[in-house]
Chains A and B, each alone.
Chain A
């Protein structure tokens, strides 16, 4: 629940509330209403319970992934990302 999952923005969904992120080849829809201005494709964000909460650099994203692995929480983080079911556009498949 308090996991912070780094994800890279792939594209913004029409309507401005959601974006597709990719983490370790898994793509999911997340909400981006908490980021002002909205993130741009290519940028990295930290995701909490389906919402992008902050913008981070590429290096910080890599560090966060490594930290999750060291804490033994990387599988849990991927499971969480994979488990988001609110994707309204229906994008589910990995790239």
Chain B
């Protein structure tokens, strides 16, 4: 209980932890997947596993956008720098994701015009201030960031900015959860539902998990107490034989989601027939493509991109870690060839990636303890 003294209310944390121990059936082994990478980060940071009985296993899910992005998409996006002399813009998390010929950051160091932005609106602004250059925004993220890209595209069209386009890599969380539920050999008892994604999509889209698969799902906040309370709610459902969608993060997540955000998504994007996810393979209707009305601002429509497929480095076992089959440290490269400083796979890049979180909070701590 390394961080327990920093908790907002240690007494409530201890109570929730006791309640979990009381509710957990010692004869059962529980596998609970936290879908969201932000939750994965918090779980490791607060060493929440130390507060759970050993028969509750937290399985890390696919909710880290850079982790599930296939390498070919990075290479394809970067090809626009050479082929179109474009300024390539993207979020900081993408800058360190390895491509076949280096990450955007490495390509930048070699002289390519690649710029990190904090908002898609910054990329649009760059296009307005550089009318002689094409500016492409490499868009990534689940429903948390997709509405922002949609509004930026609406704005580009309204302002008539001709030298701006978006390379959309937006994905949607629900088909990924379904793919995990359908994958053979995957045994999960329940889900901790994502917090920020749910502020956009609401709680309704998770209904099938409870109805069709008979698994509880509890949408959770990010504080240690939120996560423990969500586990309490899950154990109560499992104990009663219920499978429901419950919302622990009700203070921020409305049941119906954010309607202006959903309208923006529906206005600008349509579902791709299928999209490749690292580790999970091709998942139908799991990603967002820019609608034909916005084709002039869609990099894929505008520049006839080839659809490059690149296989991941053979030794890296990102796929198995993403599916929860392997724990991060069980990968052959973990902590040796693959570290946050020199990532081989994307799970080591983002603080929301299971490998980076495990490395920062478990591996370093264990190494420090071993050195004493």
Residues of chain A touching chain B, judged by Cβ–Cβ distance below 8 Å, are 1-2, 4, 31, 33-36, 46, 48-51, 53-54, 56-57, 60, 63, 66-67, 70-73, 80-81, 83-86
Contact = CB atoms under 8 A, between A and B. Distances in A.
Given A1-B65, A35-B260, A48-B196, A86 B121 contact: yes
Contact of B258 (A54, A56, A80, A84): A54
Contacts of B42: 71
A72 B41 CA distance: 10
Given A48-B196, A54-B199, A2 B223 contact: no
Given A49-B148, A51-B119, A60-B252, A72 B45 contact: yes
B144 A2 contact: yes
A56 B251 CA distance: 8
A66 B199 contact: no
B252 A51 contact: no
Nearest to A85: B122
A50 B352 contact: no
B199 A84 contact: no
B93 A1 contact: yes
B261 A34 contact: yes
A83 B122 CA distance: 9
6 contacts: A2-B38, A50-B148, A53-B196, A53-B258, A60-B252, A83-B122
B148 A48 contact: yes
Contacts of B223: 63, 67
Given A1-B145, A2-B38, A86-B121, A53 B200 contact: yes
Contacts of B350: 1
A6 to B, nearest CB: 11
B6 A50 contact: no
Nearest to A32: B260
Contacts of B6: 70
B264 interface: yes
Given A33-B151, A33-B260, A53-B147, 6 more contacts: A34-B258, A36-B259, A51-B147, A51-B148, A70-B3, A70-B6
Interface residues of B, number: 44
Interface in B225-278: 251-252, 258-261, 264
Given A71-B45, A72-B45, A1 B260 contact: no
A35 B3 CA distance: 36
Contact of B145 (A48, A66, A73): A48
B22 interface: no
B332 interface: no
A57 B250 CA distance: 13
A56 B130 CA distance: 37
A20 to B, nearest CB: 15
Contacts of A71: 41-42, 45, 351
A48 B144 contact: yes
A56 B121 CA distance: 23
A31 B125 CA distance: 13
B294 interface: no
A54 B252 contact: yes
B251 to A, nearest CB: 6
Contact of B261 (A53, A57, A60): A53
Contacts of B259: 36
A58 to B, nearest CB: 12
A67 B37 CA distance: 15
| Leading 3 A-B pairs by shortest Cβ distance | A50-B119, A86-B121, A83-B118
